[in-house]
Structure 1
Amino acid sequence: MTPEPVPQPSTDAPPEQPQPVAQPTHFDFDWSAAVNPLIGVDTADVPEQSAAEQSAASPAAPATAEQQPQAVGAAAPVPAEELVRKNQHGDPLARRMGRNVRRAVGGGSREAREMAAFVELMQRSVPSTRQIAIASVRGGAGKTTMAALVATELARHRQDRVLAADADAELGSLPLRLGVRSQLSLFDLAGQNPRSFEEAARFLSRTPEGLFVLSSTRGGRIAGEFTLETFQNALNVVARYVGATVIDCGAGILTELNRGVVAASHGLVLVTPGTVDGALSARGALEWYAANELGDLLRRTVIAMVSHAPQVGADLHRAHQMLTAWGLPVVFVPYDRHLATGSSVDMSKVSAAARSSVTRIVHEVFARALTAPTR
C-alpha cells in the first residue's frame, strides 16, 4: 500500500505568534497602613502599579553624602498617594453642598464665634517655644494622625514658626502623614550648632502650609534607634527658633524616651480609640502619670477619643463621664474617610466634623500650654 503523503504546511500560513511571557504577580501592600494601621482601610482598593509607573511618579533623588547605603535589592519607598485608588473626602458630596447652603443663608453663627475665639488665641505671643506632646497608650490609636493634624492647624494660624518633630525611634510615619520626605534626620541635626534658623532649616522639610518637619527617618527608612539625649539635642538646636513644637511620641507611655518628652512638654494630647477599651486605657494612663510625678502636666492635658470605624457601639457618654471626672477636656474625633486612608493629610478633604474637633483640641491644649512655666 502506498503511504499517504504527509501534508506540508502552507507557505501562506501566518507566522506563529509568540506566547505572552507570564508577568510576576503583584501583591497589594498598603505601606501607609503598615506604618500607621487604621481600622477602615480597605486594602482591596489599593491599585497595582508597574515598576515603570512607580519610577516615573517618584524619580530617585540624587545621592548625598548624608544618605545611608541602600541594601541590595531594596525597593524605593512608594509615595502613600500612589497606594490610594480614590482620593477620599471626609464628607460626602451631599453633606458638603448642604453646609455651603447653610453658610449662604447665614447659618453657623456658633461656629463663627468659636472660630473667632480660636483665631484670637492663635495671635497671642508665646514667652518661649511651647512644646506639645502627642502620646497614646499603644499603637493604632491614631496618635500620628492627630500629631499631623494639630501641627498643621497650628502652622495654618500661627504667625511664628511651627515645628513637627517625630520622636518614634522605630519607623516614625509623621513625615508620611505630612506628605514630606527628608534625606536628613534628627541624627544629622544632633550635635550641630547652627548660628541661624536658615542653617538649621537645612535639616528640616516643609509642608505647603509652612510647617517645618524634623524626621526620625532618612528617606522614609529607619535611621536607627536613638536615646532621649539624642532627641533633645536635636530638638534644642532648632526649637529656640520656633514658636510651637508638636512632638509625635512613640507608642506607649513607659519608655524613657516618651517619659522624657512628656515631662518636658507644656501640653499633652492623649490619644485613645473611641471605644470602651480606649477609655479604660486612657484612665490607666492618667493614673500612671499622676502616680509618677507628672500630676502637674495633667492640668494641661486634653484627651482625644478617635473613632476608627463609621459605627461605634461603645457607650461614649459613659466614657466621657469617666474621663471628665479628672477635670480634663475630652474631645471626640469622628470617623473620617480621608484620614482612614493612611496617606498624607489634606485639611481641605477632612470632614467638617473632624476639623471642628481638631480645632477644639488645638484650642484647648495651646491655651493650657501658654499658662505653663518656661522649662
Structure 2
Amino acid sequence: MTETPPRTQRSPHGPAEQFHDVIPLTAEHLLTNRRPEPTGGWRRLVWRLSGGRITPAESSAELERRTLMAQAQTPVASGHHRIAVMSLKGGVGKTTTTVALGNTLASLRGDRVIAIDANPDRGTLGLKVKSETAATIRTMLAEAPHILRYADARAFTSQSSARLEVLASDTDPAVSEAFNADDYRTVAGIIERYYSICITDCGTGLLHGAMDATLELADQIVLVTLVAVDGASSAAATLDWLTAHGHADLVKNAIVVLNAVEPKTDVDLSLLERHFASRCRAVVRIPYDPHLKEGAEVDLARLRPTTRGAYLRLAAAAGQAFGQRPDRSR
C-alpha cells in the first residue's frame, strides 16, 4: 500500500498574523558590513587599519548625534514650515542664530531652506552669507507677479556653502521702514511655493508692522536671549506678551536659545534653563564661539565642535515640529 504523503500544515492564523514576526530579507538585516563609516577618533583608526573590515560599535555620543540628525531631517508634513526667530532686545545674536540654524538644517536636508530678513530697520541678515546678488526683499515684492518658478525666486537670493538661501533686506533704513504686514504676507506666499522651510529673522520688538503677519503665519518661534539677567527678563516678558495677545500655542511650542556672547558668566545657566523649560517646548544653550563674535559670515566649518553640536540640537528641536500639520485657524 502506498503511503500518503503528510499534508502541509497550515498556520491557524490569518496571513497577516502568519508573517508578522518574519525577519525582512533586506540588506540592513542580512549584511554585517552595513554599519556607517566612523567619522573620527579611534573607531575610524581601527576601521582604516583593518581596510574597512572592522567597524567598531558606535559610542553613545555618536548614537545621540545620529538621532539628532534624524530629527533635523524630519520631512515637512504640511509641505511648508515657517520658523520665526525673535527677540525683544537687539544685540543678542538673533540674526546669527537664524543663519546658523538655517545652515545646519540646509546642510542635513535635501529640500530647500531659506532665511528672510523681516527687520523693519536696516537688517544684517545679508551680511551673514557671501552676497551673490544686490536684490532684496523689496526687489522681490516689486517683481512678485513675474515670479512663476523656482529659478525666478532664486534670482533674488544668495546661497551659503551649506545651501541655505538668504533673502536680504534693504540697507537703507528709510526704505526698510515701509516693509509692513501685507508685504510680509506677499513674500511668504511666494516663498511657500518653492521652499520647504522658511526661517524669518524678525525685527527687534513686538509692535512693528511685519510682526503681526509673522506671528500669524509662524508654525513655531525661536526666542533668543543673552545669558544675562536683563536678557532673560526681556525674554520672559516676550513670552508673557505673546500669551496675552493670543499666541499661547506658539509659546508652548517655542524653543528658547540661551546665547552666550562672552566666554564666562556668573549667571546660573541651570536656573535659566529650568525657568524657560517650564514654559516652552525646548531650551538650547549656545556656547561662546570666537567665530560668531566676528559678526561676519557664518561658516559651520569654522565653529568649535561644541558650538556645531549645540546648533545641531537646535535644528533637531526645530525638526521635531516638522511632522506636525499646523492649525492655520488661529
Aligned mate of 1:258, from 211, 218, 228: 211
Residue identity opposite 2:101 in structure 1? V
Confirm or deny that 1:151 pairs with 2:102: yes
**Distance in 2 between the 1:116 and 1:315 partners?**
30
**Distance in 2 between the 1:109 and 1:180 partners?**
40
Residue identity opposite 2:118 in structure 1? A
Q: How far apart are 1:276 and its partner, in Å? A: 2.3
Q: Which runs of 5+ in 2 are unaligned?
A: 1-38, 46-55
Aligned CA distance change for structure 1 residues 103 and 351 (closer, same or farther; 3 Å): farther
Residue identity opposite 2:112 in structure 1? R
The share of aligned pairs that are identical, in percent, is 26
Q: How far apart are 1:104 and its partner, in Å? A: 4.8
Which residue of the partner structure matches residue 273 of structure 2? Answer: 320
Confirm or deny that 1:165 pairs with 2:116: yes
Aligned length in residues: 275
Asked whether the equivalents of residues 130 and 158 of structure 2 are also in contact (C-alpha less than 8 Å), the reply is: no
Q: How far apart are 1:328 and its partner, in Å? A: 2.9
Q: How far apart are 1:153 and its partner, in Å? A: 0.8
Q: Which moved more, 1:315-324 or 1:365-374?
A: 365-374
Q: Which moved more, 1:314-323 or 1:264-273?
A: 314-323
**Distance in 2 between the 1:254 and 1:369 partners?**
28
Q: Which moved more, 1:153-162 or 1:251-260?
A: 251-260
Query: What does the per-residue CA deviation read over 1:313-344, in whole Å, with 9 as the maximum and x for residues that have no partner?
Result: 11112212222221431111110011001110
Larger Rg over CA atoms: 1
Q: TM-score, normalization: structure 2?
A: 0.77
Aligned CA distance change for structure 1 residues 256 and 279 (closer, same or farther; 3 Å): same
Which residue of the partner structure matches residue 65 of structure 2? Answer: 115
Confirm or deny that 1:224 pairs with 2:169: no
Q: Which moved more, 1:334-343 or 1:175-184?
A: 175-184
Aligned mate of 1:271, from 206, 220, 224: 224
Query: What does the per-residue CA deviation read over 1:274-299, in whole Å, with 9 as the maximum and x for residues that have no partner?
Result: 12222222211111111110001122
Query: Structure 2 matches for 1:57-68, cutoff 5 A?
Result: none
**Distance in 2 between the 1:195 and 1:234 partners?**
13
Query: Structure 2 matches for 1:84-103, cutoff 5 A?
Result: 101=41
**Distance in 2 between the 1:311 and 1:119 partners?**
29
CA RMSD of the aligned region, Å? 2.2
Secondary structure of 1:147's counterpart equals: helix
Which residue of the partner structure matches residue 131 of structure 2? Answer: 180
Aligned mate of 1:202, from 128, 133, 155: 155
Which residue of the partner structure matches residue 247 of structure 1? Answer: 200
Q: Which runs of 5+ in 1 are unaligned?
A: 1-98
Residue identity opposite 1:332 in structure 2? R
